[in-house]
Structure 1
Amino acid sequence: MKKIAVVFINFLLFLFVWSVNYRDMDSLPSDSDKVSLNQLPENYSLEDAKSDNCVAFEDSDITYGQSAWNTFVSKAKKGKPAAVRLGYYYTLGDPSRYSKEYYESIKDDYPILYIRDLKYDGYKYTVEDLEDGSVLSKDYKYMMKYEGKPRSATALFSKYSRYVLINDTTVSWDEIENSMLSSQSGAYIDHTEVYTDLEWK
């Protein structure tokens, strides 16, 4: 009888541990756990974003939150709803890259931080941005991953990995780049780049 009781208690402990672990796997910060974009404080900083488990990019390269990003991608691939907050932090870098007049005109605007929400509901991707105090959203059918080398030999990086929201899976990254540089009306390919990882030279 004592042996049966021990087995039963062990079984209950197993169920308890399993249920806790199962909840933990799916209790990553959800959309409801986050403050709305238009309610973030004006002094919200890069450090705040990292503390809030945002995926952070500094001057177009990921510097924090790779595991949170991997979790989002993994869930989306399985068709499970997922959400992640992204922070894009930009500095002016070397002042010599700009004309003196232009640098003086923009220097007070930097550094600057943009916060964006990315969601997947099992069917489509939605990106949300803050503009003039209002949250604007846009839907895309797909999220594509592009990897390769820069076309310019003078680029400061040797390889890139990008995730891009798009509505046509046949489009290449080169075609997207060309569409951004084209002056022809209607040549632009609608897309939103949400993730960049660069390998610096």
Structure 2
Amino acid sequence: MSESPYRLAVIVGSVRDGRFGPVVANWFCRQAGQRADLVVDLVDLAHVPAALGGAPGTVTPTAASGAASGAAYSAAEVPFAERIAAADAVVVVTPEYNHSYPGPLKAAIDSVGAQWHAKPVGFVSYGGISGGLRAVEPLRVVFAELHTVTIRETVSFTGAHACFDAAGEPVDAGPVNRAATAMLDQLGWWAEALRTARTARPYGG
């Protein structure tokens, strides 16, 4: 592991019953967890009351939180805003619902303000024929308003259920693993650069 790994928050954007998001997110966390330059915090919005119209900004970490990298989070509730504040980079795992992204994801994003500033955001999407990319495009506009830098490279799954086997591994792992590596390489560059910049000079958002 590097001397100063960056902290990556991976947000599971769907909260629907029967959702496929955790399969995709857990695969991505396994990919990220193989790298020495980061630690992973898995943030599942199904456990974020703010995303469901309850008490704002609170999340109960799941057993998988940080499991890929040993990130230290207790079983106590940790405010969602604090987890975003602690992150040096974010990846949003989102499905496409009706040519866009889930409403609870928007609610969670909007529950946080300055904690997003001057941080890179990447996207892993899944869906039908578009692979969820019609959810990613409007998210780029939302995150631009929040003073983030969105990463060009993405990972997407067309016909997502057929893309994974019963063990939650991609049926054709090579292309998506390479896509994940390309995105994480770019994300890491921005995470290190922006962390250094925020340390040297507060961001004036």
**Which structure would you say has the larger Rg?**
1
| TM-score of the aligned structures, taking structure 2 as reference length | 0.24
Higher strand share: 1
The structure where helix makes up a greater share of residues is 2
